[in-house]
Amino acid sequence: MPLSPGLVGALQQILGPDGLVLSREGRLVYECDMHTFYKGAPDAVALPLTTEQVQAVVRLCRRERVPIVPRGSGTGLIGGAMAPAGGVMIGLNRMDQILEIDLPNRCATVQPGLINLRLTRAVEDRGWFFAPDPSSQMVSSIGGNVATNAGGPHCLKYGITTNHVLGLEIVTGSGELVRLGGKVVDRAGYDLTGVAVGSEGTFGLVTAVTVRLLHVPEAVKTILATFPSMESASEAVSAIIAAGIIPAALEMLDELMIQAIEAGIGAGYPKGAAAVLLIELDGPRAEVEAQGERAAQICRERGALDVRVARDDQERALLWKGRKEAAGAVGRLAPAYLLQDAVVPRSKLPLIMREVLAIAERHDVQIANVFHAGDGNLHPLILYDDRNPDELARAKAANEELLRACIAMGGTVTGEHGVGLDKAKNLPLQYADADLNFMYRLRGIFDPDRIMNPGKLLPSHPACGEGFRPARPRLPEGTWV
């Protein structure tokens, strides 16, 4: 349904001539995020410069019950920052200022459109960094990281975005501007900050974020080990953790991925390598030295073909190169892929990798794997040719089966990418009606008219509907009059 002329006029009033995109070609730029499968262009794109403008747009849209879709850099992988029901998209990338850097209190306050890496760049010369490091960190915005509760290779040690957010300023779906949390960590009341991080824009729009900054570690050690099988590499992962070592990152690549990378950039992995393990340790120098030696030794004990330790930053970059090129290398294998983000308990890695092979065979698809082995976060890439509908159907079936296998092993649907439109339908695999209903009601507290990013995160499901109540326990006989 197109926007009413009155609404468009009011939006123009609020945002000025550069702040509103109405043309068809202009809006099409915003029709999808990096999950290009899901497309839906908004009826208008608002590009506010101030919190006041954000609030005014939300209030206006609420009055007319027009859906609002928040967007940062559009680098999400879940069909989150797109408008399946049209409405007004609010792009926050022009609100990209660092509002305050307070190193003595180890924090910074930034606008949501600030690019993740720019924050680290602003403080690194003084020895500090912002820990969440999604692969998109050169382009993704901190507001987007907050919305999806983004992870990254180094969250094995440092935790995901929520562990680094101290406070939020948000405009809720009801148009209220509220400040949650802040620099002082001890606060009375419910942890509204904690529950708002990862809400994918369904509670409101973040207009400022206070984040924790960390001091750079004294030393970093990067080790690359290649293995003749996924099993031996998975066992090495378990053994490293069991030895009491929590690396900053612990990444794995499988054989298909290795071949694709070799064919492309030639990372120099040895012949016969069926799995690559990339281990990065950071911290006090003596700790890194001791743990690095132990980790390398564990890899050798578990049958590594080759163990290389980077001697300097240049070698370190070289060892990471293959891992960083992975997503691009997949393009050499197939024109398109479905990317999964499920998690299994770490101890189930060997089991799930066998299952992945079996699923690929059953559905006659190729699956390449590059993932955060340390926390059991899989990123299988299910390859297909998008010109062939049959291949897509098989890829989708394999994808679905893989998700179910992960959940059956005690896992979760998404470890760091988020739910969005893509995985909303999968949440009932993991949550019972009562759990979904609790989330549905929780969302209503922040967004009573449910205008914020509709269709995302929560599934279309009876338990996510008005009036649904989960079954209550039976009362004892004779209690009633």
Question: Of the two residues 357 and 407, which places its CB atom closer to another protein in the complex?
Answer: 407
Q: How far apart are CA 238 and CA 373, in angstroms?
A: 9
Question: Of the two residues 46 and 245, which places its CB atom closer to another protein in the complex?
Answer: 245
Helix (H/G/I), strand (E/B), else coil: 306: strand
Cα separation values, 359 from 263, 272, 305, 394, Å:
25, 23, 27, 10
Question: Of the two residues 259 and 430, which places its CB atom closer to another protein in the complex?
Answer: 430
Question: Of the two residues 2 and 478, which places its CB atom closer to another protein in the complex?
Answer: 478
Residue 96 in contact with residue 141, Cβ under 8 Å?
A: yes
Work out how close the CB of 347 gets to another protein at its nearest, in angstroms, rounded to a whole number.
4
Question: Of the two residues 238 and 366, which places its CB atom closer to another protein in the complex?
Answer: 238
Work out how close the CB of 51 gets to another protein at its nearest, in angstroms, rounded to a whole number.
13
Angle (CA) 439-443-447 rounded to 5° is: 170
Q: How far apart are CA 426 and CA 364, in angstroms?
A: 23
Tokens, residue 479: 């209690």
Alpha-carbon torsion (145, 149, 153, 158), positive or negative: positive
Question: Of the two residues 269 and 446, which places its CB atom closer to another protein in the complex?
Answer: 446
Neighbouring residues of 105: CB distance < 8 A, sequence distance ≥ 6: 183
Work out how close the CB of 25 gets to another protein at its nearest, in angstroms, rounded to a whole number.
34
Work out how close the CB of 369 gets to another protein at its nearest, in angstroms, rounded to a whole number.
17
Question: Of the two residues 159 and 268, which places its CB atom closer to another protein in the complex?
Answer: 159
Work out how close the CB of 13 gets to another protein at its nearest, in angstroms, rounded to a whole number.
26
Residue 117 in contact with residue 216, Cβ under 8 Å?
A: no
Give the CA radius of gyration of the chain.
23
Work out how close the CB of 141 gets to another protein at its nearest, in angstroms, rounded to a whole number.
17
Alpha-carbon torsion (128, 134, 135, 139), positive or negative: negative
Work out how close the CB of 111 gets to another protein at its nearest, in angstroms, rounded to a whole number.
19
Q: How far apart are CA 208 and CA 137, in angstroms?
A: 18
